[in-house]
Amino acid sequence: MASLSLNGVGVSRGVAIGKAYLLQRDQLKVREYLIPPSLVKAEQERFRQAVDIAKEQLAEVRQKIPATTPVDIVSFIDTHLLMLSDKALAKDPVKLIDERGCNAEWALKLQRDALVAVFEEMDDPYLRTRKDDVDHVVNRIQRILLNQNDNIQIMLDGRLKDSVIIADDLSPADTVTMQNEGIVAFVTEFGGPNSHTTILARSLGIPAVVGVKNALRYLQQGETLVVDGYYGALLASPDKTGMAHYQQRQRAERRHHAELSKLKELPAISRDGLVISLHANIELPEDLAMMNKVAAKGVGLYRTEYLFMNREELPDEEEQYETYKTVVKQLRGRPLTIRTLDLGADKTLSKESRHALSSVANNPALGLRAIRLCLRDTDLFLTQLRAILRVSADGPVSMMIPMVASVQELQQALTLIKQAKVELQEQGKAFDDTLPVGAMIEVPAAAILSDVFAKYLDFFSIGTNDLVQYTMAADRQDNAVSYLYQPTHPAVLRLIDMTIKAGHKAGIPVSMCGEMAGESRYTRLLLGLGLSEFSMQPAMVPEVKSIVQNSDVEQLSKKVRRVLRMSSAADVEAFIELLNSP
C-alpha cells in the first residue's frame, strides 16, 4: 500500500505510531414533520424525557471521572450539564413544539441553529469555538430522540489500545470516556487550538493534530499511522524509510523524557550554586496530582476564581475555607500562595450566578475585574479574605492580590484584610497574623511604581500574561493581534527588570507566575535578569529545571543586560537563540 501524507495543525507535541481507529458516527438524520394539536403535549413530553436521559448520561460520565482527569475537561462536562438545565435548550424547544406544531427533533434543530448563529457572530475566537459545546449537547439529545446509539460507549472493551483516534470532532464526554483506554494520539477533522481535543491531548501529554480535512475519508480503518504533533503531519502506511525515521525520533523523545524525569528528585540549582525555586500554578485542588508528579516545591499561584465558575451559587466562606484547606493539607508543609478573586475579562461566572456588578463592559479586560470588582463588592471580598486567613492557621499560606494598579487600591485591600482579621478575632477563629500579603505585578502602572508598591507588600509576583497584554495593548485572546503579543518586547523586559530590581532593593521576594515563567526558552533570559522564583504549569517544571542546572547565573547576568537596550522583540529573540545555544 502506498504511503499517504496529510496535514493539519499540530496542537499537542510528540510523535506517535499506532493503528488508525476511525470513529464513524452515524449521520444524524433529523426528520421534520408537523404534529397534530392533539399530540403536542405528548411530543413535548418526549422532548423533556430525552433531556432527562441526556442529563443522566452525562451525570454518569461525570460520576465515573477518574481522579487523574484534567480539570479543564471536567469543567467542560459541568458546563454541558448546566446547558441541559438552561432555558435555551431545556425550555425553548418545548415552546417551539407548541407554537409551530413541529416535532421534537425539528424544534431542537431550529433552536440549535438560532443559538449557533449568535456564537458565529462573535468576534472572540474562543467564544466562537464554544458553539461546539452547543452542538455536542444538542447531538446528544438528538441521538436519544432518534434512538441512535453513541458508539464510543460500545467500544470501551480494550479495543482502542495503541490506537490513533480519527474523528470529525470529539466532545469532552467522549474524551473523558476514552482517556484510560491507552490511546496514543488524537486526530480530528475540525477543531483549533482552543478545541476540547486540543486541551485534553495537551493535559494528557499525547500528540494531537486537528483540522485534518477529510481524514475520515482518506484513512483506512486499522492502517498504521504516524502522527507528528510538532509539525501537524500524518503519515499513513509509511514505507520502511519513513517508519525508521519516526521510530528514531520517538526513541530520541523517550530518552529526553527519561532524562527529564530523572531530575524529579534533584534540586533546581544552577552551575554556580544558586538555588532557584520552581513552583506550580494550580486552578483546582485536583491539579496537585500533576504537581506532585514533577515534585514542584510549592504552589506559586492558586487561581481561586475557578471555584466560582461553572456553578449557580457562589461558594460561601465555609466552602472556600474547606476547599483551600484540602490544598494546604495535601501540600504537607510546602508553601501555598492563594490569589484573591480574579473574576472578569476572560474568567466569567455562569449566567445563573452572574454577579450584580459584572456588567457587560465594552472592554472587559480594562473593566471591573479582579481587585476592582472585589473593592466594589466588599462582602464578596471579605468572605474570601476570612476563608484565606483561616486556612493560614493550617499551613504556610500567602495571599496575593491581582491587577493592582494604584497605591489607593493596595491601601484599601490592606484595610479590608485588617477588617477581616478583626472579624475573625471576634469570632474566636484562628489565623496567622503574619500571613505575607503580596501583589501580582501585571499592570504596567504597578511595574513602573513597583518601588513604591514594595513599601506596602511582602512579595511581588510578575503576571506576564496580563503584563504583556496591557503593555502592548494587544488582547491576549485575540489571534488577529497575536503578532504584537510579545513577551520579549524590550518594553516588557524593562518592566520586568524594574520590578525585579525594586523588589530586591526593598528586600522582598520577586516571583513570576505568567506563562513566560514556564517557557524554557526564556529561562536563561529571566535568570540573567535576576529572577530566582518561577511558578508555572506543573508539566513545565522538569524542562525548566534542566535549563537551570545547565546555566551559570552570574555569567548570564552579565550577558543579558543588553536586551534592555535592544529595539525590538526580533532582536531579543535572536539574542536568546545565542544565549540558549550550548
Instruction: Supply the minimum distance, in Å, between the C-beta of residue 303 and ligand PEP.
Output: 5
Residues facing residue 460 across a β-bridge? 439, 510
Q: Which amino acid is located at 141 in the chain?
A: I
Instruction: Supply the minimum distance, in Å, between the C-beta of residue 469 and Mg ion.
Output: 8
Report the partner that residue 263 touches, choosing among Mg ion, ligand PEP, none (CB closer than 5 to 8 A by kind).
Answer: none
513 catalytic? Reply is: yes
The C-alpha atoms of residue 570 and residue 576 are separated, in whole angstroms, by: 10
Interface with ligand PEP includes 463 (CB under 6 A)?
A: yes
Interface with ligand PEP includes 303 (CB under 6 A)?
A: yes
Catalytic residue among 196, 279, 355, 489: 196
Joined together, the cell numbers standing for residue 146 give 432518534
Instruction: Supply the minimum distance, in Å, between the C-beta of residue 345 and Mg ion.
Output: 9
Of the two residues 119 and 306, which places its CB atom closer to Mg ion in the complex? 306
Task: Count CB neighbours of 434 within 10 A.
Answer: 7
Interface with ligand PEP includes 342 (CB under 6 A)?
A: yes
Residues facing residue 397 across a β-bridge? 336
Do the beta carbons of residue 175 and residue 136 sit within 8 Å?
no
Instruction: Supply the minimum distance, in Å, between the C-beta of residue 503 and ligand PEP.
Output: 16
Binding site for Mg ion (CB under 5 A): 442, 463, 466
Selected from 514, 518, 538, 542, the binder of ligand PEP by CB under 6 A is 514
Selected from 394, 466, 475, 533, the binder of ligand PEP by CB under 6 A is 466
Selected from 513, 540, 548, 560, the binder of ligand PEP by CB under 6 A is 513
Do the beta carbons of residue 287 and residue 67 sit within 8 Å?
no
Joined together, the cell numbers standing for residue 96 give 417551539
Of the two residues 431 and 460, which places its CB atom closer to ligand PEP in the complex? 460
Q: Which amino acid is located at 483 in the chain?
A: Y
Report the partner that residue 513 touches, choosing among Mg ion, ligand PEP, none (CB closer than 5 to 8 A by kind).
Answer: ligand PEP
374 catalytic? Reply is: no
Of the two residues 198 and 304, which places its CB atom closer to ligand PEP in the complex? 304
Of the two residues 294 and 512, which places its CB atom closer to ligand PEP in the complex? 512
348-352 long-range Cβ contacts below 8 angstroms, 24+ apart: 348/309, 349/308, 349/309, 349/314, 350/79, 350/82, 350/309, 350/310, 350/311, 350/312, 351/86, 352/82, 352/311, 352/312
Interface with ligand PEP includes 383 (CB under 6 A)?
A: no
Do the beta carbons of residue 337 and residue 302 sit within 8 Å?
yes
Residues facing residue 438 across a β-bridge? 400, 459
The HSE-up count of residue 439 (CA atoms within 13 Å, CB side) is 29
Element (H, E) at 281: strand 277-282
Among 40-48, 90-98, 414-422, 461-469, the segment contacting ligand PEP (CB under 6 A):
461-469
Residues in contact with ligand PEP by CB under 6 A are: 301, 303, 342, 442, 463-466, 513-514
Q: Which residues are catalytically annotated?
A: 196, 513
